[in-house]
Amino acid sequence: MTHFVHPDEVRSRFSRAMSDMYRDEVPQYGNLMALVAQVNAEVLKAQPALANAMAQADELDRLDVERHGAIRVGTKEELSTLRRLFAVMGMEAVGYYDLSVAGVPVHSTAFRPVLGSSLNRNPFRVFTSLLRLDLLADEALRAQAAEILARRQIFTERALALIAQCEAAGGLSDAEADEFVREALETFRWHSEATVDAATYDKLHKAHRLVADVVCFKGPHINHLTPRTLDIDAAQLGMPAHGMDAKEVVEGPPRRACPILLRQTSFKALQERVNFPGSGDQGTHTARFGEIEQRGVALTRKGRALYDSLLANVRSMGNAGSASANYQDRLESSFAAFPDSHDAMRQQGLAFYRYVLQQPVGDASADIETLIADGVVRAEPIVYEDFLPVSAAGIFQSNLGGEEQKHYEANQAQQAFEADLGAQVHDEIALYQAMQDASLQAVRQALAQADVAESVA
């Protein structure tokens, strides 16, 4: 009987290989990893309670391996095949993100594990965007871009064969898994040779820099990888000293005692040499950068509605992309309305928590807050594993050139995206709700079983 490698292990091998490749291609990524490791070590040393809480929640081991990547594709066929490729690694499409409302002509999902055990094993995720040529005003340019994209094949023949083999057999052997990682990595590799001439590149670049990035190359090079930090503000301040040109503002909610959702920053994209075919012309392309993330607790629908309303209030007062102290002051002032303690967020139903039995004696029918107050149950924040469309667009814009801002009508197209993907995307909030519900059910079952055992005794 063939022994198949678990998808979690395939994902771990792939994420390590991706990190090694990106470090070779973008040396500053190594500096970024060193900075984040230093900041995390300092935070854990200074905050032993946090270190203990993370250890109890099995968060420490995944801290150093936690990173996400981002990729942009041009056709529905590329998106659908990526879904199949990521499925080999136990990653499914979670969430729908419309970035067009922030001036970026793409819509996106995140491929990631969905089970808690798989997230703890390796939470690697890839934010994947599909170019929306329908948003380009120039009809002739749309047709030209579509024709260019139709000519390319971003997957190796062997990668496609191994995907099909995994689907048919139910898995890959150890040797096949290693071969799959090597072949799949080729899709994400940087190619300095453009597939179009300089004039075509310039025309697409003027339409939108991201359009040129997607259309003009052999494949959808990974445009960043992201380590997780425990103090993104310290990392932001430390980037210049490590030779990195930090973007002006940290995207997402303001600094808080109890972090929520996701905060992101990056060093700005590097100018990389590009060779154009036929003429010997050379140019530069700006696309790849290094990002840092700080993750907090996942919010319920009620919590997310409050977050969105507070952020909309701040953005309505002025340019949300501004790095001015005025914007940061408005952000902090507005978010003062969002409770900043885990007890308050939990009691008000704003965030999700995993409930863990501390002692096997208690009333199984008691409400959860009573069980927590009595020390029977511990509540652990459930880490937010997904993304924020406004923050993602802010990162994209800052690395496509800060002066560029296109305007598109709000035009969500989730059904069209899912049709191109070949599957429905998971509702991320429903996944967190299921995690919380399962943990609460496990606590009540354990207490009920203890009650039965005690009564029999």
CA 7 to chain centre: 19
The single-letter DSSP state of residue 297 is B
Query: Which range among 80-94, 329-343, 406-420 shows the weakest confidence by mean pLDDT?
Result: 406-420
**Can you list the alpha helix ranges (DSSP code H) found in 253-316?**
301-315
Q: Are strands 125-131 and 67-73 parallel, antiparallel or unpaired?
A: parallel
**Can you give 393-446 as a three-state secondary structure string?**
HHHHHHHHCCCCCCCCCCCCCHHHHHHHHCCCCECHHHHHHHHHHHHHHHHHHH
pLDDT value of residue 457 = 52
Helix (H, G, I), strand (E, B) or coil at 304: helix
**Rounded CA separation 399/209 (Å):** 10
Residue pLDDT, tens place only, 184-211: 999 999 888 888 888 888 898 888 888 8
Local confidence band at 162 (pLDDT 50, 70, 90 cut-offs): very high
Say if CB 89 and CB 55 are below 8 A apart: no
* pLDDT band, residue 12 (cuts 50/70/90): very high
Q: Which residue in 338, 337, 339, 371 sits closest to 439, CA to CA?
A: 371
Do 155 and 187 meet the contact criterion of CB atoms below 8 Å apart? yes
Query: Helices 7-25 and 76-88, interaxial angle, to 10°?
Result: 120
Average pLDDT, the chain: 87
Mean pLDDT of the 176-183 span: 97
Identity at 247, one-letter amino acid code: K
Task: Please report, for residues 259, 299, 305, 342, 425, the alpha-carbon distance to residue 346 in angstroms, rounded to integers and kept in the order given.
Answer: 13, 10, 15, 6, 27
Helix axis angle, 76-88 to 157-169, nearest 10°: 60
pTM of the complete model beyond 0.75: yes
Could you give the CA distance from residue 13 to residue 175 in angstroms, rounded to a whole number?
12
Closest to 299 measured CA to CA, from 241, 260, 257, 265 = 260
| Angle of the 174-185 helix axis to the 76-88 helix axis, nearest 10 | 150
Q: Residue 357: in which H helix or E strand, if any?
A: strand 353-357
Residue 4: which pLDDT band, with cuts at 50, 70 and 90? very high
User: So what's the pLDDT on residue 449?
Assistant: 83
Q: What is the pLDDT of residues 393-415, one digit of tens each?
A: 454 454 445 444 454 444 568 99
Distance from chain centroid for Cα 434: 20
324 pLDDT higher than 60 = no
Confidence check: pLDDT of 268 > 80: no
Q: From CA 68, how far away is CA 124, in angstroms rounded? A: 5
pLDDT (0 to 100) of residue 399: 45
Q: Is 366 exposed, middle or buried, given 0-12, 13-18 or 19+ CB atoms closer than 10 A?
A: middle
Hey, which residues does 285 pair with through a beta bridge? 272
Residue 208's alpha-carbon distances to 74, 100, 163, 202, 425, in angstroms, are 14, 12, 33, 10, 27
